[in-house]
Amino acid sequence: MYQSPRRLCSALLQRDAPRLRRLPARGLRLLSPPPAAAPRPASPRLLAAASAVSGAARSCSRTACSMGNGTSRLYSALAKTLNSSAASQHPEYLVSPDPEQLEPIDPKELLEECRAVLHTRPPRFQRDFVDLRTDCPSSHPPIRVMQWNILAQALGEGKDNFVQCPVEALKWEERKCLILEEILAYQPDILCLQEVDHYFDTFQPLLSRLGYQGTFFPKPWSPCLDVEHNNGPDGCALFFLQNRFKLVNSANIRLTAMTLKTNQVAIAQTLECKESSRQFCIAVTHLKARTGWERFRSAQGCDLLQNLQNITQGAKIPLIVCGDFNAEPTEEVYKHFASSSLNLNSAYKLLSADGQSEPPYTTWKIRTSGECRHTLDYIWYSKHALSVRSALDLLTEEQIGPNRLPSFNYPSDHLSLVCDFSFNEEPDGLL
């Protein structure tokens, strides 16, 4: 049923009202940052933006929302993502799209708004791209791919037991801004996410206004559903920039292990670059967690490889696979990927001195059982057809800090991995 923008807006506001009334304090709430970390520098411009956000919240909570410009309109874009419980009662796909939600957002403005919300938190960690260029120049702009397990909100608050992480650091209204800030800082062309339990109410509406086309595939029996006040199941999400790529085909894959259907999923899409007309396949997955499940993960990996063999027509189409494999490089599933006939290499190995070693960690947290520091996340790519031009360096132990992740300045227990890829000039027969 179509609703006029004004009616829809006031309907949203009625749903949001109790939370919106608390909003003026949110952006300016004094969090307790770790003692060593200085708060983010609050420039006069950011403070002005923060008070504009608060002002917009105040006026929106009292009156019907006007279709304003600039910060207040942007504010409403972020504010609409706050009403998570209402969204699960009225999923976005069941209501007519709000015309305002289709309007493009300037990434710089959204970034500024996120920073205003986060201005009491310690500063973002500085991470640099490492230049890995070989002597194969490309005439086309690189393809930037981000792999990230963003930590499901329900699992972070209800299941993960991050014993050194204060609950305030996990508040969704702010953690959401840290996640968006990370995405906006690196501006990937393709975004591969795991543990997404705020797709319909947050990432899909916001990222679509930033020009991304998104796909979500929830886990059939997400552990999020066990958590009180959950926001629906978690799953994998894949976003690509529509001005750079055309979708050729898309497959949602429920992984099997020894022919049995499992609770783990993958999304695989064939995209065509608009600049070069070259096609490639991009896939995202999140394999079964925990020790004792190594053979299960291995079987899931074999199933995924088989699916990717079919989708890439026997490795004719170049491939990038992003995932939280929940497996160290010593595990069988890693070895299957490294030795597959798809001719894959793991991009982050290129950051090591000899190009042969994975980084020392991609996730680092403290649970009741103790410290968990592991390399579990990977970006695999067709090593003959594609080159890694650069990769985003990981955080140092010092940056991560003694309480590890997540924290007031990093929203997930997993680090994001970001690589710039280019096509090699003579791919035929060398995939």
Ligand X SMILES: NC(=O)C1=CN([C@@H]2O[C@H](COP(=O)(O)OP(=O)(O)OC[C@H]3O[C@@H](n4cnc5c(N)ncnc54)[C@H](OP(=O)(O)O)[C@@H]3O)[C@@H](O)[C@H]2O)C=CC1
Options 38-46, 125-133, 220-228, 352-360: segment touching ligand X (CB under 6 A): 220-228
Q: Where are the beta strands (DSSP E) in 211-315?
A: 212-218, 235-241, 245-257, 260-273, 279-286
Cβ closest to ligand X, residue 264 vs residue 269: 264
CA dist 282 and 269 (Å) reads: 5
Query: Which residues does residue 240 pair with via DSSP β-bridges, in sequence order?
Result: 190, 213
- If one asks whether residue 86 binds ligand X (CB under 6 A), the answer comes out as no
- Binding to ligand X in span 24-63, by CB under 6 A: none
CA dist 357 and 423 (Å) reads: 23
The one-letter amino acid code at 338 reads A
Pairing, β 212-218 against β 245-257: unpaired
Options 77-85, 110-118, 180-188, 217-225: segment touching ligand X (CB under 6 A): 217-225
Options 137-145, 171-179, 215-223, 341-349: segment touching ligand X (CB under 6 A): 215-223
- If one asks whether residue 115 binds ligand X (CB under 6 A), the answer comes out as no
Residue 341 CB, nearest approach to ligand X (Å): 27
* Lookup result for tokens 């590890």: 404
Residue 235 CB, nearest approach to ligand X (Å): 10
CA dist 191 and 183 (Å) reads: 8
CB 257 within 8 A of CB 299: yes
Phi, psi torsion values for 129, nearest 5 degrees: -80, 135
Cβ closest to ligand X, residue 77 vs residue 299: 299
Phi, psi torsion values for 213, nearest 5 degrees: -105, 130
- If one asks whether residue 323 binds ligand X (CB under 6 A), the answer comes out as no
User: SS3 for 108?
Assistant: helix
Cβ closest to ligand X, residue 219 vs residue 349: 219
Q: Which of 17, 141, 221, 360 binds ligand X (CB under 6 A)?
A: 221
CA dist 275 and 153 (Å) reads: 37
What DSSP line would sit under 347-361, residue for residue? GGGGGSSSS----S-
Cβ closest to ligand X, residue 246 vs residue 367: 367
Residue 110 CB, nearest approach to ligand X (Å): 27
Q: Which of 159, 229, 274, 295 binds ligand X (CB under 6 A)?
A: 159
Q: One symbol per residue from 361 to 390: x for binding ligand X (CB under 6 A), - otherwise; what is it?
A: ------x-----------------------
Q: Which of 155, 268, 385, 415 binds ligand X (CB under 6 A)?
A: 155
Calculate Rg over the CA atoms of the chain.
Answer: 21
Q: Which of 223, 235, 301, 323 binds ligand X (CB under 6 A)?
A: 223
> How many residues in the chain?
431
Q: Which of 326, 345, 375, 424 binds ligand X (CB under 6 A)?
A: 326
CA dist 253 and 271 (Å) reads: 17
Options 32-40, 81-89, 155-163, 391-399: segment touching ligand X (CB under 6 A): 155-163
Options 77-85, 171-179, 239-247, 288-296: segment touching ligand X (CB under 6 A): 288-296
Dihedral angle, C-alpha 71, 72, 73, 77, nearest 10 °? 90
Options 198-206, 284-292, 395-403, 416-424: segment touching ligand X (CB under 6 A): 284-292
CA dist 387 and 135 (Å) reads: 10
Cβ closest to ligand X, residue 108 vs residue 290: 290
Q: How many CA atoms lie within 13 A of 326 on its CB side?
A: 19
Q: Which of 112, 160, 181, 377 binds ligand X (CB under 6 A)?
A: 160
CA distances from 3 to 64, 67, 99, 202 (A): 15, 15, 10, 21
CA dist 246 and 164 (Å) reads: 44
Options 7-15, 55-63, 182-190, 283-291: segment touching ligand X (CB under 6 A): 283-291
- If one asks whether residue 197 binds ligand X (CB under 6 A), the answer comes out as no
- If one asks whether residue 406 binds ligand X (CB under 6 A), the answer comes out as no
- The contact set with ligand X (CB under 6 A) reads 149, 155, 159-161, 195, 219, 221, 223, 225-226, 263, 288-290, 324, 326, 367
